[in-house]
Structure formats: structure tokens, C-alpha cells
Structure 1
């Protein structure tokens, strides 16, 4: 579960102005705020976009009939549904209740649980495979998170994750372009990851993160595709306050919001066909590795 527009780290972290000012939010705390009650809006916009990488993710762990599989950060359940269709025995977790409500309604065959990584409610070596579709972006402690995922995977089992790379594709730049063109726009950024927890959002950076975690036979893949939508549909996420771009939009003064919307429509028109189809190029990284026997 992830929006592609929001950066993995920020540039500015507010500091307390006085002893009575609450301390800055941690990355994980900010993530909980960003995604609170976002299930329906996420399903309307980003779920279809993120579903593109699901077949590659399940192929990477060889999910098939009888595979015991953990879907981490299931969102509204598209990965879980695809894994069930392959015959896998699926357990799926997410930290956001409205996401899980939608996922349960779509995939009654899977076992959905509310859980936050790295505090997983499973015994060591429970699953043949662990997958997470764009969930790695949401971990404030990615190395601890990976260690927890490895712990619940059986020896010689596979762990596979997708990630939005650090370099934005044209599809991911739509809202940032509109922000940059809007006078008076007040930026809202996620807190930075601690330096010791950060890593390059590149093929090699992702592969090295997997190797550091102790995974073997690590490989990475670049996935490119074009997502088709409309300007009205793509606006739902921001207009509903979903994730970083949407939360920032709701913070703005009314006249700034109006100007931003007009700038968005201009950018959207540049990327749309005459029939109104927006064509958004996207790129994702996928890494897979094997747990030591």
C-alpha cells in the first residue's frame, strides 16, 4: 500500500518552538496519520495503479497451490486476492482498519489481521513466502521491518518487496508539478528517516538492503508500465486528503487550493489524449531473496 507521489523521506523536520511544543512526529507516527480512514479513497485511485506489479511479486516467490503466504501492507487486498486465485493459503496484514474492511469484503478466503511491522503476531518460520507491494516505503525502521519479515519466513522461503524508486517517473510528478506552479503553496513533508535506517531507493540500494538483512540469491527487477486514468478520477486522492499530497492540499488556504486545482488540470491535460484518457508512465523496483536454510 503506497501512493507513488509521496517521497520516502523529507527535507525539513520541524523542531520544538518552546518547552510546551509537542515533539516532532516520528516517521511511523506520521504514516499512521497520513493513512487514517483512507481505505475508500485509496481503493478508488491508487489500488488499481499498484495492482500492476502484483503478478511480478507473486511470480518472484513462486506463489502457487498450497503456498503459505503473508501479504504485508495488503491495503485493500489486491495482492491477497491474486494469491488466493493461485491457490495460496493467504494471511494478510495492514495497519489501517478501513483498508482491512475493504480487503475482507473482497477476499473472504484470506485471513486478514490488524498488525504493524515489526510487531508481527506470528511464530518464527510460519510462512513459505512473504510479499509486500509498495509497503517498504512506509517503514520508518526498514531494517527492523525486514528482520521481522525474515523471522516469520521458513528456511529457504522467499521474501519479495516492491518499492517506488527515488527518481520520479512522469506519472509520479503530476501533483509535485502542480505544487511547484502554485504561489503560496505550503509544503508538508514526512519526517526524515534516521541516517542509519535510510538507504538509496535504487536497484543496488534495494538489493544491498536485502543482503544486509541476511537474504541470499538476491535479485532485482525494474518494472515499467503506463497507467490509464482520467483527470477527475486521479483528483479523488488529493481532494479526499489521501496521503502526503492530499494532506498538504487540505492544509492550504482556499485560494491556494483553487490555484493548485487549476494547475493540476493543466498538467493533467498535457498528459491526456483527446478522449480524456490520462497516460501516466510509472516505474517500480522489485527485489526478492531467499532466507538461509
Structure 2
């Protein structure tokens, strides 16, 4: 399957997940099956906050973590909140994921495409755009595969403070680094300006529809209320199973398993390109589930 960003679903840890399900069903109190806190189960928010602080360097207060169905829902939650605050436009990376623009358009916001270079979002077009919100993928930019430089990360946060704006950090491929230690999440540098979003879609399976967003204090109540009116919260049993899985080390083991598998496949692809298409230029190989290959004419 050569579709970019598509996980190998055969890597889903069926036995370990089933064991976590049995454990949860044996001990979950009846009261936990009622309407949940729209932010998510407290035990899952605690588990995710600890894991994200340790693995991604985020400032992870469980009270400001909202469990959602993935980055897509995190984007729409933020879009509705910003639209209600009077914002009309959102900046997205160019080139970037068309899905970001579509999601914010569904909330009534218009998209402004902002150019990138080899270091990240270019500061001058951003400053001239007039937007006060942007969506970025700094860990492994889609589709170029670059990791943003420290200078561009700092410049983006300086811009957000100057315009009283917000950054949605889609931590795309943040868990999968192959040749060096992962770069910490942007949110860890300014948790009051960065809304951080991630999910288990690549580490476990997209069909689980489980993700999270860490929200600045100023936006938290509005995001939680929007989540409440949108769906009353995510399914309790799935949340409890993920909490069990994270707390007992299953999630870390799964990430290591995926890392090994995807690194081996990346290496095999690079070797095949070198053998069969010599002269092919390849970028974005240090992380993630896709590379950019420029085949010679």
C-alpha cells in the first residue's frame, strides 16, 4: 500500500488490546457507564498527560486535555470556537494537507495558504497574511517531510504572541523518528498559544477514533462546551481500555514495535530505489510513514 500516511493495520495488537478490554470489563464500576465528562475519563486524561509529557515534551495538565475522536475533531472544535470569537480566516501550510482547509471550512472559516521552505513556514508571508490562527505540522511536515528548524518554531510563536493568535499543532508522525531522537512538540514552548492535537490512528488504528487535544486555559471552557454539544463525549469503554493500555505499558511497547517495522520498510524502500532507480532524490526519510521521491527523467 503506497498511500502516504497509511498505517499497517496488521500491526494492531489484538491480544494485548483484548486483555485490556477484559480487565476493564471486570473492574469498571456501573456508574462509569453513564454520560461521561465531555473532556474524557479522568484516568485516560491522566494517562495521556503523563505519556505525552514524557514522550513529546508537552506541558500536559490533565485538566486541559480533552479526549476527542482524532485530529479532525480537534480541528473542528477549535474552528467553531475561534469563529465564535470573531476570527474569519485560518492559515494552512502550502504545500499541506487539503484536509486541514476542509475541516476549518466546515466551521465557517476561510483558508489562507501560507508558503513553506526547507525550514518551515516563511515568516514574511505569515506576517502579511492578516490571519490570527494557523495549522501546522512541524514534527514531520505533510507532504514535504521536513522537520521545522528551531528558528522557524520560535518565529511562529513570536508571531502568535504579537497578533494575539493561536497555533494548532497537528503532531503528524511525531511518534515515528528513525535516525535521531524526536524533536519535542511545539506546544511545550508556549502552551497558552499552541493547541496540541494527536491520536492513535497510526500507532494503533484509525478506526478506533481516539485522540486528544491540549487546550490553552483561555479557550478551554469554550472547547469543552462545544465538545459537549457535539457528541456528549467519546465512548467510555474505549477510553477505559486505552487508559489501561497506556498505564500498563502496552502503548509504549506498541510504539516500539511500529518503529521497528516502519524503519525496516523505509530501509527496504530506500535500498530498492537505489538499486532500481539510481539517481532518485529522496527526502523526508527521517520520520513518518511516507517519503518524497524525485525520480530522474
Judging by fraction of residues, say which structure has more helix.
2
* TM-score of the aligned structures, taking structure 1 as reference length: 0.37
Judging by fraction of residues, say which structure has more strand.
1
